[in-house]
Amino acid sequence: MKIAIFGNAMKHNTLDEVSHLLEFMELRQVDVYLSQELRQEMNLREYPAFPAEDEAWRAFTEEGNMIDFALSIGGDGTFLTTASIIGNKNIPIVGINCGHLGFLAEVQTNQVDIIMEQLIKGRYTIEQRSLLYVEGKGGHLSSPYALNEIAVMKSGLSSMITIDVSVNGSPLHCYEADGLVISTPTGSTAYNLSVGGPLMEPHVKAIILSPIATHRLSVRPLVIPEDWTIDLKLSSRNGNYLLSVDGRSRSLLNEVQLHIEKAPYTTKVVQLEEHSFIQALKDKLQWGK
Which residues form the domain of 119? 2-124+272-284
**Long-range CB contacts (< 8 A, 24+ apart) of 283-287?**
284/101, 284/102, 284/103, 284/189
For residue 149, give the CATH number of its domain: 2.60.200.30
Give the angle 256-87-72 at the CA atoms, nearest 5°. Answer: 120
289 assigned to some structural domain? no
Residue 103 pLDDT > 90, yes or no? no
| Distance of alpha carbon 196 from alpha carbon 63, whole angstroms | 39
pLDDT digits (tens, 9 = 90+) for 22-67: 888 888 888 888 888 888 777 776 665 554 445 444 667 665 668 9
Query: 53 and 166: one domain?
Result: no
Query: 82 and 101: one domain?
Result: yes
Query: 41 and 118: one domain?
Result: yes
Query: 158 and 230: one domain?
Result: yes
Query: 256 and 222: one domain?
Result: yes
So what's the pLDDT on residue 64? 60
The question of whether 227 is a catalytic residue gets the answer no
Q: Which of 31, 76, 178, 246 is catalytic?
A: 76
62 assigned to some structural domain? yes
Least confident of 109-123, 191-205, 226-240: 109-123
Query: 143 and 237: one domain?
Result: yes
| Distance of alpha carbon 144 from alpha carbon 236, whole angstroms | 23
Q: How far is CA 210 from the centre of its chain?
A: 18
Buried b (16+ CB within 10 A) or exposed e, 185-223: bbbbbbbbbebebbebebeeebbbbbbbebeeeeeebbb
So what's the pLDDT on residue 53? 47
**pLDDT bucket at 258, cuts 50 / 70 / 90:** very high
pLDDT digits (tens, 9 = 90+) for 188-221: 999 999 999 999 999 999 999 999 999 888 999 9
As separate numbers, helices (DSSP H) first and strands (DSSP E) second, the chain gives 6, 17
pTM: 0.90
Percent of the chain with pLDDT over 90: 55
More confident residue, 116 or 180: 180
Q: How many domains does the chain have?
A: 2
